[in-house]
């Protein structure tokens, strides 16, 4: 799973350089989720190119469900 929140939400925007690589990962079964509050804040509602719009409750739940977490 890849979880995007805060300015990371900008990485799933249509036209972002990251979308093509994220599509390759999604095609291999990687779940991609972006914080809905962040999507709203950056006005990306109609611009999300990949993945699902989620919420921070689900994102934090996912973060705590794994033994390893990679953060930038």
Ramachandran sector of residue 52 (left: φ over 0; alpha: ψ -120 to 50; beta: rest): beta
Residue-level pLDDT at 66:
82
- What is the number of other CB atoms lying within 10 angstroms of the CB of residue 59? 19
Rounded to the nearest angstrom, the gap between the alpha carbon of residue 36 and the centroid of all alpha carbons in its chain is 9
Any idea which residue has 């300015």 for tokens? 7
How many domains does the chain divide into?
A: 1
For residues 11 and 22, the answer to whether their CB atoms sit within 8 Å is: yes
Kindly state whether residue 71 falls inside one of the protein's structural domains.
no
Q: Please, are residues 25 and 64 in contact by the beta-carbon 8 Å criterion?
A: no
Residue 28 or residue 65, greater confidence: 28
**What are the pLDDT digits (tens) for 3-43?**
999 999 999 999 999 999 999 999 999 999 999 999 999 99
Q: Which pTM was predicted? A: 0.85
Instruction: Supply the CATH number for residue 47's domain.
Output: 3.40.1260.10
User: 69 in a domain, yes or no?
Assistant: no
Q: Identify the domain containing residue 29 by its residue range.
A: 2-64
Q: Is residue 42 in some structural domain?
A: yes
Residue 28 lies in a domain: yes
In a domain, 70, yes or no: no
């Amino acid at each position: 799973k890849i979880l995007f929140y805060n300015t990371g939400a900008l990485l799933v925007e249509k036209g972002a350089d990251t979308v093509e690589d994220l599509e390759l990962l999604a095609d291999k079964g990687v779940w991609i989720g972006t914080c809905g509050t962040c999507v709203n804040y950056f006005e990306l509602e109609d611009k999300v190119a990949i993945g699902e719009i989620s919420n921070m409750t689900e994102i934090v739940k996912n973060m705590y469900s794994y033994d390893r977490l990679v953060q930038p």
